[in-house]
């Protein structure tokens, strides 16, 4: 029933029928942080996702629950989310993916809503009362009765493919007087998008 309601905002002609809990993987507009993220996590000849959000319905409107650097954890109208994406032939560079087993999706959304208002995690560290985009997804999507994390946390990498550490990250963490969390377990949208328990349901850019 919830899925049918959510479909109402996005099942227009040539548009997807989003379901609650679908994940929207986004190539962000060009910025220093977006560039540094994709340089460290992207793969040649693939879209380099720098952001991910969760499809929800808020006040009767199709929306995306996300953690952003300019607003922390918040609910964003779907149109605004798509508008700030990079473009491929004039279309938003956003791919919608869905869990093959959606049993725990409703619970994941409820967990995610509890983080609304939490500030953005510029330090990319776990358990610090802050949240970055893929950390929000990682924290909320759990498996069955064991409540283990569905997505895999891997040692974080901030280096480019040739092993170089971009000056952006050096300056970014120096400004916070923190060491770069190289190798600390974490997540990123690009790795998440490759999980085999996800399936692509729509590409806005095709």
Task: Single out the residue of 133, 130, 146 nearest to residue 24, CA to CA.
Answer: 133
The dihedral over CA atoms of 168, 170, 176, 182, expressed in degrees to the nearest 10, equals 110
Token look-up 């629950």 returns 65
Task: Single out the residue of 139, 163, 165 nearest to residue 153, CA to CA.
Answer: 139
How much is the pTM? 0.88
Contact criterion met (CB below 8 Å) for 85 and 29: yes
pLDDT band at 60 (very low <50, low <70, confident <90, very high): low
pLDDT band at 45 (very low <50, low <70, confident <90, very high): very low
Cα atoms in the Cβ-side hemisphere of radius 13 Å centred on 192: 32
Can you give the length of the chain in residues?
A: 206
In the three-class reduction of DSSP (H, G, I as helix; E, B as strand; rest coil), residue 57 is classed as strand
């Amino acid at each position: 029933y919830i899925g049918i309601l959510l479909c109402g905002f996005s099942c227009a002609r040539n548009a997807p029928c989003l379901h609650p809990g679908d994940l929207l993987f986004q190539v962000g507009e060009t910025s220093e942080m977006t560039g540094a993220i994709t340089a460290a996590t992207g793969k040649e000849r693939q879209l380099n996702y720098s952001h991910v959000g969760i499809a929800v319905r808020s006040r009767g409107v199709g929306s995306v629950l996300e953690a952003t650097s300019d607003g922390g954890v918040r609910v964003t109208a779907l149109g605004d989310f798509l508008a700030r994406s990079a473009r491929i032939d004039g279309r938003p560079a956003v791919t919608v993916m869905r869990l093959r087993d959606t049993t725990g999706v409703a619970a994941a959304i409820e967990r995610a809503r509890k983080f609304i208002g939490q500030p953005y995690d510029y330090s990319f560290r776990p358990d610090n009362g802050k949240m970055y985009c893929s950390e929000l997804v990682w924290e909320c999507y759990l498996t069955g009765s064991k409540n283990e994390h569905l997505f895999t946390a891997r040692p974080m990498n901030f280096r480019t493919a040739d092993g170089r550490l971009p000056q952006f990250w050096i300056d970014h963490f120096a400004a916070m007087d923190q060491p770069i969390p190289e190798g600390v377990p974490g997540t990123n949208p690009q790795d998440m998008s490759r999980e085999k328990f996800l399936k692509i349901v729509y590409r806005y850019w095709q």
